[in-house]
Chain A
Amino acid sequence: MIEIRNLVKTFGRRVVLRGVNLTIQEGEFVTLMGANGAGKTTLMHIVANLSKPTAGDVFINGFRLADAASQLRRYIGLVSHKTLLYDDLTAAQNLRFYARMYDVPQAEERIETVLRQVGLWGRQHDPVRTYSRGMQQRLAIARAILHNPPILLLDEPDTGLDQHASDMLGKLLHAVGVSQRTILMTTHNLERGLSLGNRVVILAKGKIAYDARREAVSVDELRQQYYRYVTAN
């Protein structure tokens, strides 16, 4: 469970988040939407403990992130805009390195499992720089779930993917066991956001502007809401 309370983040004199409150229950899949620069990535980075909030708190399973950050990071996986992979190393070397950093038990078996899940088993001894963008993104997802985190943060996992690859995203996320994890995902694609998640949230002007369950909203309605908040910015 993720609890975000009164989160404020300023970059110098620019305020990005002005008091965000959001609670994500265990097993929920929340899609976060908003204009570019609305603070989606900033929010993700704060939950992932890559960035410190100016004010406010994040609780992971009831524990304050600021108090036990280096232990709580174990329960979080992040897929970011960037791959977070070393281009010069092979897929296997990358995952082996991260497995050691996360203390993954039976690392070799686990690496094989996740590589099979994302369909890269067989290519594991090729350097990452030889991979296509889509393959790199799949490896990035494998990296994020390597340590089996109960919480998964997906920051625009569909950027840079071609139509086919991003259509595969849903299947892929399903394959890596999305249904058992608590998920926060950002995307610019309204249809995909609505079809993957079971709750939709819009971030505008540094606050949660809209919050609805999937059952309660149609794509057209969401689009209307989205443009209302995004263009009002």
Chain B
Amino acid sequence: MATQTAVSEQKETTTGGFDWGLALTVVSGVLMLAALFMALVWAPDAANLKAPAERAAQRIFYFHVPSAWIGFLAFIVAAGASVMYLVTRRQKWDIWALSSVEIGVAFFAMVMLSGPIWAKPTWNVWWTWDPRLTISTISWLLYIGYMMLRGAVDNPDRQARFAAVYAIIAAMSIPINWMAIRWWRTIHPAVVLPGNNSAAQGGFGMTGSIATTLIFCVVAFTVFYAALMYHRIKLENLKRRVDTLRQKILYR
């Protein structure tokens, strides 16, 4: 208890100098607004897409791709933090992992929603068993499992340990899952890594301002992720401090 309150109190005092929370919030807000403007107004229509619906839907990808990127980034951060937790046993890393998974699940939910909206006008189906869709779904389910596991363990030490073990295994399974599913079948347009995939449909050339917009969106989303992480971690610290204080009162 002593070490833990010390940690959270230290956190309080170090934020006194420069308010990272406020800075991150403001910067990410401005960047997200700019990203919205670039994606909806500034970026030109994709030249090779003829149908208007397809052209409008194509703009989803400026948010769809960065969301998927944040989803995977969040899970890499969670796995790293989980390794750190098992090595150091400091609550800080457990909080990092927990926060990152929660944010990752939210972003993957956005991927799962925006994907079909784009797929309907482009592929004329809401859903296909395409590798990228499938792997996103599996990752999403993996980390929903993570949250369910946390919810089902009462002992806080055990909860943190189990969650860390699970996060590490889950993160390791994603590349293997990815390989397996890619071999299984593929029709998703390879936007980020253009390959010799002749089966891909609905792809478009990425040049000039389209590429600029996408890169800008990825940066904006990454800052947004950092801001969310900051606030989620702070929230969890406060929550655990309240628990500590409550325990102090109850067990005195």
A residues near B (Cβ < 8 Å) are: 10-15
Contact = CB atoms under 8 A, between A and B. Distances in A.
Given A11-B157, A13-B240, 16 more contacts: A10-B1, A11-B155, A11-B156, A12-B155, A12-B156, A12-B157, A13-B1, A13-B4, A13-B156, A13-B243, A13-B244, A13-B247, A14-B247, A14-B251, A15-B1, A15-B251
B106 to A, nearest CB: 26
A14 to B, nearest CB: 6
18 contacts: A10-B1, A11-B155, A11-B156, A11-B157, A12-B155, A12-B156, A12-B157, A13-B1, A13-B4, A13-B156, A13-B240, A13-B243, A13-B244, A13-B247, A14-B247, A14-B251, A15-B1, A15-B251
B161 to A, nearest CB: 11
A19 to B, nearest CB: 11
Interface of B: 1, 4, 155-157, 240, 243-244, 247, 251
B237 to A, nearest CB: 13
Nearest to A8: B2
Contacts of A12: 155-157
A121 to B, nearest CB: 40
Contacts of B1: 10, 13, 15
Give 9 nearest A-B pairs by CB, closest first: A12-B156, A13-B247, A13-B244, A15-B1, A13-B243, A14-B247, A12-B157, A10-B1, A11-B157
Contacts of A10: 1
Nearest to B154: A12
Contacts of A11: 155-157
Contacts of A15: 1, 251
A178 to B, nearest CB: 34
Nearest to B242: A13
A14 B240 CA distance: 12
A15 B4 CA distance: 11
Contacts of A13: 1, 4, 156, 240, 243-244, 247
Contacts of B155: 11-12
A45 B134 CA distance: 46
Nearest to A10: B1
Nearest to A12: B156
A27 B120 CA distance: 79
Contacts of B157: 11-12
Nearest to B241: A13
A172 to B, nearest CB: 34
Contacts of B251: 14-15
B149 to A, nearest CB: 16
A14 B247 CA distance: 7
Contacts of B4: 13
Nearest to B246: A13
A88 to B, nearest CB: 27
Nearest to B1: A15
A15 B251 CA distance: 9
A46 to B, nearest CB: 14
B153 to A, nearest CB: 11
Contacts of B240: 13
A12 B160 CA distance: 9
A148 to B, nearest CB: 33
A201 to B, nearest CB: 22
Contacts of B156: 11-13
